Structure 1
C-alpha cells in the first residue's frame, strides 16, 4: 500500500512540472519570440547538471554510484544524445505548431515505445495492445488533416521528438531496472546531464551563434526574461527527475500512457492561455488518439 501511495505521489509531482515546462517552452519560443530551441534545451540540461549534485553530494539523500564499465558509460552517453534529440526537436516544433497538435502527435509515443521495447528487450505486449496502437496512429493522421496551422517541417520535428522520447524511455528503463545496470535515478541524471551539455554547447555555437548576446540584450530590456528562463530550467530538472522515478516504479509504456493524460490537460490549458485555433476534425483525431492510448494500459 505504501508503495502505491509513493508511486501516486511521484505521478502527482510529475504532472504539474511537465505541463508547466511545456507551456513555458511554448510561450518563450512562440508568443515571447525567443526562437532559440537549442539554447533553451541547453539551459534545461545545464540546470539538471548543476541541481543533480544537490540530493547526492549536499543532502546525501542517496549515495553516489560509480559507473561500472565502459559499456554502461556508452549507454548513458547514448541516452544523453537521445534525450537532446527529443527535447530539441520538440522545442523546434513548438515554434509554430499549437500545443494541441504537438500533444496529438506526442500521444503516439506508446506506439514507438512498444516498437523499441520489443526491438531492444524482446518484450512483447499483448495482441490487444498492438491492436489499440492502430487507432492511436489513425487519430494523429486525422488530427494532422484538421490542424489549422500545419507546418511539414515542424510536424517532422514533432515525430522525431516523439520517437526519440519513446526510445529514451526504453533505454532509461534498462539502466534503472535491469540487474546488470541498476543505476539510481538521481545518479543517472547526474551522469547524463553533463554529457548532454557537452553535446549541446557546440550545437548552440554552430546553429545559434548570436544567442548569448541576444539573450543578454533581451534581459536588459525585460528582466522577466531571466526569470522565465530560470523557472523554466529549474522546472525541467524536476520533470527529468520525476520522469526517471515514474519509469523506475512503473514502466516505460505506463509513463507514455500517463503522458497522454498529461497532454489532454495541457491542450485545454494552452487553448485557454494562448487562444490557438482548433478545428472539430483535429479535436476528434486527438480524442481518438488519447482514448486509445489509455486503452493500452
Structure 2
C-alpha cells in the first residue's frame, strides 16, 4: 500500500524532531554542566523529571497522545517505582559524566548499551542469544577500550559515571520486560514515563538538597544576575520531555527496528556536531574506536533481527 506524501512528510518531520531534541538536550546538558559552569547534575535531572511529570500528564490526559492506562495494584506501583529509581540513576549518571567527558566520548561509551542488555538478560532470565549475537558484542566493547586509550580528555570518574549510566539504562530495559510482562501490567512508554517521573522527583529532591548544598538558593541568585539561566533550564527540561515524546511517536509511526537503526546514526551525528561546537580535541585512535563500536552495534542489531 502506497503511503500518502503528507504521511511521509509527517514521519520525516517526526524523525527530524526526534533527532533535534535528542542531540539538542545532550549538547545543552554539556553546555550547562561544563561550559556555563552550572555544576549541579542532580538538580538538572530534577528539572527534567519535573517537566516529564507535568508534560506527560498534559499529553495523555488533555491532548490524548496515548490512551490513559491506570496502575492496577500496589504491586504494580512498586514495580514502576523500582524502574523509576533505576531510570533516575541512569539520567543522573549520564549528566554527571557530561561534566567531565566530551560528548563524543560519552556517546561512544553509551553505544555499549546492547552489551549490558545482553549480560543482564542472561543473568536475570538465563535467556541465551545465538552465538553470532554474542560475537557481534566483541567489537562493541573493543571499540570503547580503544576509544578510551585514545581519548585526550579521558577522566576516570566521568568514565565510571558514564559506564554506570549505560548499565542502568540497560538494566531498566531488561527489568521492564520482566516486571511488566503480563498483558494486564504492560504500559506504553508514555504512561510508564508519567508514573516513573514523579517517583524520580521524590528521590531527586532530597538528594539535590543534601548533596548539592543550597542549590535552589544558588540557582535563584544566578537567575537574578543572569535571567538566561532560567530560560536555559526551562528549555532544557522541555527538550528532555520532547525526547521521550518523539521517541514514542517515531516508534508508533514507523517501528522499533527503524528507531534502533536511526539511533545508531544519531550517535555519530551527535559526535560530529559536538566536536564542531565544543572544539574538544579528538584523536585518530579515539575516532577509530568509536567507529568500531558503532559498527559492532549495527552488526548486533542485524544478528538480533535474524535470530527472531
Same fold (TM > 0.5): yes
Query: What is the match of residue 214 of structure 2?
Result: 210
Counterparts of 1:105 and 1:244 in 2: how far apart (Å)? 24
Greater Cα shift, 168-177 or 105-114: 168-177
Q: Please, which of 167, 177, 180 is the counterpart of residue 163 of structure 1?
A: 167
Query: What is the match of residue 281 of structure 2?
Result: 277
Q: State the TM-score, normalizing by the size of structure 1.
A: 0.90
Report the Cα offset of residue 126 of structure 1: 2.7
Query: What is the match of residue 199 of structure 1?
Result: 203
CA 1:184–1:230: 2 relative to 1, 3 Å: same
Counterparts of 2:181 and 2:61 in 1: how far apart (Å)? 23
Greater Cα shift, 189-198 or 161-170: 161-170
Report the Cα offset of residue 146 of structure 1: 0.6
Number of residue-to-residue matches in the alignment: 295
1:10-159 equivalent positions in 2, closer than 5 A: 11-159=15-163
Q: For each residue in 1:106-130, what CA deviation from the matched residue of structure 2 results, as whole angstroms up to 9, or x when unmatched? A: 1111111122233445544332221
Q: For each residue in 1:230-281, what CA deviation from the matched residue of structure 2 results, as whole angstroms up to 9, or x when unmatched? A: 1110011121234456678755x98666433211111100000000011111
Q: State the TM-score, normalizing by the size of structure 2.
A: 0.87
Report the Cα offset of residue 189 of structure 1: 1.4
Counterparts of 2:197 and 2:287 in 1: how far apart (Å)? 36
Q: For each residue in 1:176-217, what CA deviation from the matched residue of structure 2 results, as whole angstroms up to 9, or x when unmatched? A: 775242213322111111111001001001101211111112
CA 1:222–1:235: 2 relative to 1, 3 Å: same
Query: What is the match of residue 295 of structure 1?
Result: 299
Q: Is the 8 A contact 1:185 1:245 kept in 2?
A: no
Greater Cα shift, 214-223 or 140-149: 214-223
Query: What is the match of residue 305 of structure 2?
Result: none
Query: What is the match of residue 304 of structure 2?
Result: none
Query: What is the match of residue 189 of structure 1?
Result: 193
Q: Is the 8 A contact 1:26 1:94 kept in 2?
A: yes
CA 1:166–1:243: 2 relative to 1, 3 Å: farther
Report the Cα offset of residue 151 of structure 1: 1.1
Matched residue SS, 1:159: helix
Report the Cα offset of residue 76 of structure 1: 0.8
Q: Is the 8 A contact 1:174 1:181 kept in 2?
A: no
Greater Cα shift, 287-296 or 12-21: 12-21
